[in-house]
């Protein structure tokens, strides 16, 4: 199955209409000043905020799915992840031990209390958690903002491996121009809620 992501005049009160097509395996890097609308666009795609327009995944309209189903298929990783259970393990049914290892964790991390996690550990574990659902598209909002160089490289490698192996489209918000060059096939700028290609 061809995994593609298409936005059709997606807009909100703060986002001007955005239409774009991402083919299977493509990675689009988004950048722009703080408050420009990058996270708002990602949240709109993930169906977390009220918006107009349509998003299509593999030719299937978002409006035809339950929000919970859509969010498993289109995984959104915010810069600050949420942890609602006491232990790491309780947040997913089937953790991938290889992914955890690639992200610098031993299996014992699943027994850790979430209250002891640093912001960087939460960020890496949030990626591992999202991949347990085997999503068909990834929305990464500053996925390495709290990470050092080594852990940033590990996250980039895991995303690249998943993207290539499953041919999923990825939208990656990043303020780092070097990172954008490394991870993306295409780039776009968001400023004052308007997307332009660059």
Mean pLDDT over residues 113-129, rounded?
97
Helices marked H in 103-169: 119-131, 149-166
For the chain, first and last CA: distance in Å?
30
Q: What is the structure's pLDDT at 198? A: 82
Count Cβ atoms within 10 A of the Cβ of residue 164 and give its class: 0-12 exposed, 13-18 middle, 19 or more buried.
Answer: exposed
Mean pLDDT over residues 116-125, rounded?
97
Q: List, in order, residues 6 or more apart from 59 with CB less than 8 Å away.
A: 4
The enclosing H or E element of 41 equals helix 38-45
Q: What's the CA angle centered on 56, arms 129 and 19, to 5 degrees?
A: 110
Mean pLDDT over residues 117-129, rounded?
97
Residues 138, 170: contact at Cβ < 8 Å?
yes
d(CA 125, CA 19): 31
- pLDDT band for position 13 (50/70/90)? confident
d(CA 78, CA 81): 6
Q: pLDDT tens-digit profile of 26-41?
A: 999 999 999 999 999 9
Q: pLDDT tens-digit profile of 55-88?
A: 999 989 999 999 999 999 999 999 899 999 999 9
d(CA 168, CA 58): 10
d(CA 7, CA 169): 12
Q: pLDDT tens-digit profile of 131-186?
A: 999 999 999 999 999 899 999 999 999 999 999 999 999 999 999 999 999 999 99
CA-atom Rg of the chain in angstroms: 16
- pLDDT band for position 2 (50/70/90)? low
Beta strands in the chain (DSSP E): 5-11, 18-22, 27-31, 52-57, 60-61, 74-77, 137-141, 170-173, 186-191, 194-197
Q: What is the structure's pLDDT at 120? A: 95
Sheet order of strands, 170-173 included: 74-77, 137-141, 170-173, 27-31, 186-191, 194-197
């Amino acid at each position: 199955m061809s995994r593609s992501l298409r936005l059709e005049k997606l807009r909100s009160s703060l986002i001007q209409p955005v239409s774009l097509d991402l083919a299977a395996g493509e990675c689009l890097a988004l950048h722009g000043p703080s408050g420009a609308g990058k996270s708002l666009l990602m949240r709109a795609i993930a169906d977390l905020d009220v918006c107009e327009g349509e998003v299509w995944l593999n030719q299937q309209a978002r409006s035809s799915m339950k929000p919970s189903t859509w969010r498993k298929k289109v995984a959104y990783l915010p810069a600050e992840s949420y942890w609602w259970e006491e232990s790491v393990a309780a947040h997913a049914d089937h953790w991938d031990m290889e992914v955890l290892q690639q992200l610098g964790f031993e299996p014992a991390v699943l027994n850790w209390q979430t209250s002891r996690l640093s912001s960087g550990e939460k960020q890496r574990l949030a990626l591992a958690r999202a991949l347990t659902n085997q999503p068909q598209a990834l929305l990464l909002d500053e996925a390495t903002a709290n990470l050092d160089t080594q852990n940033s490289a590990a996250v980039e490698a895991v995303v690249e491996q998943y993207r290539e192996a499953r041919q999923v489209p990825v939208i990656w918000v990043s303020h780092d121009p070097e990172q954008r060059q490394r991870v993306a096939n295409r780039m776009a700028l968001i400023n004052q809620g308007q997307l332009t290609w660059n």
